[in-house]
A and B are shown apart, each in its own frame.
Chain A
């Protein structure tokens, strides 16, 4: 049976994130799943991993600087060797893509980035992704013995295993070299414990506002909250100071691939499209029916975004959504 390794990263202590549950769901369809943690998992976490069919959990601490991709990758490589995995599946984020690259380099493995799904075909990992601003659908295969891939959030629905497992817990001996000439001077982790909205990168629904909001994001936020969605925006609006850079969806901001992307007052510059082209369904609200985002949307309303979004919120509340 194919061995699949899912690195949980350092933030699994607070429980599995939705994106991790999705990757575990995909991994289980490929073979026998081993998870990698850097602190001893709590009983709750172990039970949750078991509910997703994980058969084994390896634990190894990371030396400082633990947040260097080259450090984390060495632990992943040790785990792959320890349990002979043929596939390593990461969730896709800035951080994990770097770790995946270092891991693939060390293993001589083929690397797939930001795939929307994976399967095995003749023992080879195959993954699909959208390219060139979402206009092309490509399918890539890995030709090496070991494959490394990062999977975009919302690629699949997370499903617990039909039969929960009791994961075997094992310490992983790993000799990790600290990268030379590199020093971490300062590190601050933003406190998201008080957040009422899901994280932009992983939300199933994203509502974004662009220049057409003229800086008034209240209608966008109201709709987002009615849908349990994250709020996003464009580079223009960040430059205007209307929302912080963390909210930017785009090529150099956050790449999102939600089930539903609602863009209000967004014309759809290539920079922005490149960051949301993986969305399942696109809805646009704009005063201009020629706007690129309207043209690539599945559904668009041409009109004033404040009244359209407010009416949509009202209709959703009546529906009980």
Chain B
């Protein structure tokens, strides 16, 4: 089992770690000798190992850190190719669990791309996840549609911040995490080809937007009217789309 993270542990990645830990616990309850472990997989510069460390404090057994200068600025495709290659080095894997979104603009597509790379079924934006007899069941509700999906493992699962409540790291686990192993993998270790390392998109420019300069008024009984005036004066009432 794996949980992928990027950079620091995003809030929703804690939910992903929690899901992975719960899947492991379910497997252990069914068979105490199942030997399942949770591996925290992260990709990024050397500091990104902190994310794996954080996951290990929550209870992940060990970490894998994909770290290579050639991966700096990787786009979705390169990121997915590298993570998929790292996942393959850990075979056999039952499930890859990711958070459904990252706060850093990486988008919500990594789960889909990993499923496509690995050729595994995908259970995405899962509000609940359960695992029994090699089958993962997940419910989701997006875009006004409610669905229940089932996939035989191995599968890629993405979770949200309502899927569960991530456990707090206990002192014992925090201390134990320091001794847990982290394997560092370079692009060469992963056998990534030049093509796989070539981003298909590139950032042309990134400009910091001007500091907002809000027009702030204190309500003296006319605040509501002024709000309406603002919308009217800036032609913001148009209902072209309705």
Whether the pair A315, B228 counts as a contact (CB closer than 8 A) is yes
Q: For the complex, is B183 an interface residue (Cβ under 8 Å from A)?
A: no
Whether the pair B216, A294 counts as a contact (CB closer than 8 A) is yes
Which of B52-60, B87-95, B202-210 forms contacts with chain A?
Answer: B202-210
Which chain A positions have C-beta within 8 A of B120?
181
Cα distance, A29 to B95, chains bound together (Å): 43
| Residue of chain B at shortest CB distance from A219 | B224
Q: For the complex, is A179 an interface residue (Cβ under 8 Å from B)?
A: yes
Which one, A141, A189, A289, contacts B145 given CB within 8 A? A189
- With A246-B144, A311-B223 in contact, do A131 and B206 touch (Cβ < 8 Å)? yes
- With A139-B204, A251-B101 in contact, do A70 and B122 touch (Cβ < 8 Å)? yes
Cα distance, A259 to B148, chains bound together (Å): 34
State which residues 1-45 of B face A: CB under 8 Å. 11-12
Which one, A112, A181, A189, contacts B144 given CB within 8 A? A189
Whether the pair A295, B214 counts as a contact (CB closer than 8 A) is yes
Whether the pair A140, B202 counts as a contact (CB closer than 8 A) is yes
Whether the pair B200, A157 counts as a contact (CB closer than 8 A) is no
Which chain A positions have C-beta within 8 A of B80?
105
Whether the pair B145, A252 counts as a contact (CB closer than 8 A) is no
| Residue of chain B at shortest CB distance from A132 | B105
Whether the pair B223, A303 counts as a contact (CB closer than 8 A) is yes
Which of B62-70, B108-116, B167-175 forms contacts with chain A?
Answer: B108-116
Cα distance, A313 to B225, chains bound together (Å): 8
Cα distance, A48 to B77, chains bound together (Å): 35
Q: For the complex, is A321 an interface residue (Cβ under 8 Å from B)?
A: yes
Whether the pair B214, A296 counts as a contact (CB closer than 8 A) is yes
Tier of interface size on chain B:
35 or more
Chain B min CB distance to A41 (Å): 21
Whether the pair A311, B224 counts as a contact (CB closer than 8 A) is yes
Whether the pair A252, B107 counts as a contact (CB closer than 8 A) is no
Chain A min CB distance to B213 (Å): 9
Which one, A129, A296, A304, A313, contacts B219 given CB within 8 A? A304
Whether the pair A94, B142 counts as a contact (CB closer than 8 A) is yes
Q: For the complex, is B227 an interface residue (Cβ under 8 Å from A)?
A: yes
Q: For the complex, is B61 an interface residue (Cβ under 8 Å from A)?
A: no
Q: For the complex, is B193 an interface residue (Cβ under 8 Å from A)?
A: no
What string of 1s and 0s marks CB contacts (under 8 Å) between A58-91 and chain B?
A: 0000000101111000000000000000000000
Tier of interface size on chain A:
35 or more
Chain A min CB distance to B5 (Å): 15
Cα distance, A309 to B225, chains bound together (Å): 9
- With A102-B112, A182-B121 in contact, do A158 and B241 touch (Cβ < 8 Å)? yes
Whether the pair B212, A111 counts as a contact (CB closer than 8 A) is no
Cα distance, A271 to B161, chains bound together (Å): 11
Whether the pair B144, A185 counts as a contact (CB closer than 8 A) is no
Chain B min CB distance to A107 (Å): 10
Which one, A202, A283, A308, contacts B241 given CB within 8 A? A202
What string of 1s and 0s marks CB contacts (under 8 Å) between B143-157 and chain A?
A: 111111111110100
Whether the pair A302, B216 counts as a contact (CB closer than 8 A) is yes
Which chain A positions have C-beta within 8 A of B194?
none
State which residues 110-126 of A face B: CB under 8 Å. 110-114, 126
Q: For the complex, is B103 an interface residue (Cβ under 8 Å from A)?
A: yes
Whether the pair A183, B150 counts as a contact (CB closer than 8 A) is yes
Q: For the complex, is A190 an interface residue (Cβ under 8 Å from B)?
A: yes
What string of 1s and 0s marks CB contacts (under 8 Å) between A121-158 and chain B?
A: 00000100111111111111111100000000010011
Which chain B positions have C-beta within 8 A of A274?
103
Which chain B positions have C-beta within 8 A of A14?
none
Which one, A144, A228, A281, A314, contacts B224 given CB within 8 A? A314
State which residues 299-321 of A face B: CB under 8 Å. 299-304, 307-316, 319, 321
Which chain A positions have C-beta within 8 A of B76?
101, 104, 111, 113
Which one, B104, B108, B238, B240, contacts A132 given CB within 8 A? B104
Q: For the complex, is B237 an interface residue (Cβ under 8 Å from A)?
A: yes
Whether the pair B109, A101 counts as a contact (CB closer than 8 A) is yes
Whether the pair A105, B77 counts as a contact (CB closer than 8 A) is yes
Whether the pair A297, B212 counts as a contact (CB closer than 8 A) is yes
Whether the pair A186, B147 counts as a contact (CB closer than 8 A) is yes
Which chain A positions have C-beta within 8 A of B217?
300-302
Whether the pair B216, A94 counts as a contact (CB closer than 8 A) is no
| Residue of chain A at shortest CB distance from B127 | A245
Which one, A113, A189, A198, contacts B109 given CB within 8 A? A113
Which chain A positions have C-beta within 8 A of B189?
none
12 contacts between A and B (CB under 8 A): A18-B241, A69-B122, A97-B108, A97-B112, A141-B201, A158-B241, A190-B146, A251-B101, A283-B231, A301-B218, A304-B219, A319-B237
- Footprint of B on A, CB under 8 Å? 18, 65, 67-70, 93-95, 97-98, 100-102, 104-106, 108-114, 126, 129-144, 154, 157-158, 179-190, 192, 198-199, 201-205, 227-228, 235, 245-246, 251-252, 259-260, 270-271, 274, 281, 283-285, 289, 294-304, 307-316, 319, 321
For the complex with contacts A190-B146, A301-B224, 9 further pairs of A-B residues with Cβ separation under 8 Å are A110-B75, A131-B105, A139-B203, A179-B121, A187-B147, A199-B144, A260-B231, A311-B225, A315-B227
Across the A-B interface, the 4 shortest Cβ-Cβ residue pairs? A311-B224, A303-B219, A110-B200, A315-B228
